[in-house]
Structure formats: C-alpha cells, structure tokens
C-alpha cells in the first residue's frame, strides 16, 4: 500500500492560519474515521495532535483542528506560533487492518 | 504518569536479528495496545506493527510480514519488537507507542524515546 499524500512543505507567518492536506483512498482515509495527526520536532518523538479525524487529546491547543472530506483529511493550525514549526504526519487505519502514514509536511513559520 | 522506556541503541550486521524492548508504566498495560513505528535517517514515519496487550492479537504491514514479530510480557508490562534478516534499509529509529487495545490506527498517545538500530557490516 502506498503512503498517504501530503505536501512536502507549507509556510505561514505568525498569527496566520495554515492547512495541511492528507490524501488517501476510500480504503483508508475515506473509509474510516480513524485519521490521526502527529507533530514532530527535530530529534524528538512524534506527538499526537488529532485523533479520529477531529478530536484533540487533552493538553493540545485548540489552535489545532482536524477535518475530513471524502478521501482527504486536513489539519488546520490557526494563530501560528514559532513553536508550531515542525514536521507533521497524518496516519490512517486501512481496510487491511494496517496503518498508513503520510510522507510528512515541514511547516515553516516565517 | 504514563511512560514508555525503550532499550538502548543496537548495532547489527546484515542478516542478523534485533529485539527492542519497551517497558510501560503508569497505566494498566493490558487495557491498551502497542504500536511500533520506525523512522529512517531524514525520512518519514513508517508503521512496523501492532499488538493488543489484552488479546495478544497482532497486525503487520505486508512489507515486513515474515520478518517482524511483536510480543508482550504482561508480567513485566513490556512489549518487544523483533526484526530478523536485517538489511541496510532497516536502519532507523524504532519507536513504541501506546494505542487503544481494539485495533491499530486509533491514535498513539504516548511514545517511547526511540531506539536507534544501525545495520552495518
């Protein structure tokens, strides 16, 4: 199975909003509500930011939100802050009972 | 507090096996699952496998089927990932992460610190 498709990079200025897309198929992103988003700073383990498409774990800022339309999921970060600069990965459960990750998106805060 | 503490870095020769451990604490081990995820240098995340600590049911990606085995020891709240017949492209940081116990992919909320596996002759 192929990885989910994410843009390689996105950028935004402090205070702005950005959206990262994650495109799969009807066998993964489009077929289930089990899409997650992770933030990873250099040299650190990933951190869960969104689960089940749009749910935030306790302690995650409400500036992070998730949604899905068809086979594409999206992560939106509003009120960009310097600390948001990181790599972001989406993942999805699939019909084969496996997990696919996206290729990752590097967010640069200008 | 929830913690996942992994074993130390490993250096292996091509064709050898590696077994990485992940000791859990701060929660009821058997009410969750454990996923393993790897990250090659400068690359993205790749899912390696999942086990329910409750049922011991496992799932693996087709790419690694037959070479990877994930197990748990509930008496010590420890999960293990063994990868056999190592190749150079298996060199990566291997992470364990806590998952819901039912099926993989529901979101990994706590992660280990990672274990660097180097494959070199």
pLDDT at A84: 97
Contact (Cβ atoms closer than 8 angstroms) between residue A23 and residue A7: no
CA distance B54 to chain A (A): 17
- As given in the structure block, the two tokens for residue B44 are 């993205």
Is residue A76 within a helix (H) or strand (E), and if so which, with residue range? strand A72-77
Residue length of chain B: 121
**Total Cβ atoms within 10 A of residue A54:** 16
Average pLDDT over residues A61-81: 97
Q: Is A92 on the interface with B (CB under 8 A)?
A: yes
Measured in degrees and rounded to the nearest 5, phi and psi for residue A82 equal -55, -35
Q: Is A36 on the interface with B (CB under 8 A)?
A: yes
pLDDT at B103: 87
Measured in degrees and rounded to the nearest 5, phi and psi for residue A15 equal 90, -20
pLDDT at A24: 96
A19, A23, A39, B64: CA torsion to nearest 10: -170
The answer to whether the CB atoms of A91 and B95 lie below 8 A apart is: no
B47 to chain A: nearest residue by CA?
Answer: A99
Mapping DSSP onto H, E and C, the string for A78-93 reads CCCCHHHCEEEEEEEE
Shortest CB distance from B106 goes to which of A52, A96, A104?
Answer: A52
Distance CA B97, CA B6 (A): 10
Name chain B contacts of A5, Cβ cutoff 8 Å: none
Which of the 8 DSSP states describes residue B30? G
Q: Is A105 on the interface with B (CB under 8 A)?
A: no
Name chain B contacts of A98, Cβ cutoff 8 Å: 47, 59-62, 104-105
* pLDDT band at residue A2 under the 50/70/90 scheme: confident
CA distance B17 to chain A (A): 23
Q: A27-59 pLDDT, tens per residue?
A: 999 999 999 999 999 999 999 999 999 999 999
Is residue A64 within a helix (H) or strand (E), and if so which, with residue range? strand A64-69
The answer to whether the CB atoms of A101 and B108 lie below 8 A apart is: no
Name chain A contacts of B109, Cβ cutoff 8 Å: 48, 51, 57
Q: B21-59 pLDDT, tens per residue?
A: 999 999 999 999 999 999 999 999 999 999 999 999 999
- As given in the structure block, the two tokens for residue B31 are 């009410």
pLDDT at B81: 98
């Amino acid at each position: 199975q192929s990885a989910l498709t994410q843009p390689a990079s996105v950028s935004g200025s402090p205070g702005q909003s950005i959206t990262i897309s994650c495109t799969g198929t009807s066998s993964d992103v489009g077929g289930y509500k089990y899409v997650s988003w992770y933030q990873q700073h250099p040299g650190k383990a990933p951190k869960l930011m969104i689960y089940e498409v749009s749910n935030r774990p306790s302690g995650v800022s409400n500036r992070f939100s998730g949604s899905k339309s068809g086979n594409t999921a999206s992560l939106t970060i509003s009120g960009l802050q310097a600390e948001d600069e990181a790599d972001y990965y989406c993942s999805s459960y699939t019909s084969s009972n496996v997990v696919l990750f996206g290729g990752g998106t590097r967010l640069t805060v200008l | 507090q929830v913690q996942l503490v992994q074993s130390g870095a490993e250096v292996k020769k091509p064709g050898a096996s590696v077994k990485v451990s992940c000791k859990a604490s701060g929660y009821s081990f058997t009410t969750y699952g454990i996923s393993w995820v790897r990250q090659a240098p400068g690359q993205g995340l790749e899912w390696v496998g999942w086990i329910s600590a409750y049922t011991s049911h496992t799932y693996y990606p087709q790419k690694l089927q037959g070479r990877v085995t994930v197990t748990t020891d509930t008496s010590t709240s420890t999960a293990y990932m063994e990868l056999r017949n190592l190749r150079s492209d298996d060199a990566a940081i291997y992470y364990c992460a806590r998952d819901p116990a039912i099926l993989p992919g529901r979101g990994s909320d706590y992660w280990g610190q990672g274990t660097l596996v180097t494959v070199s002759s």
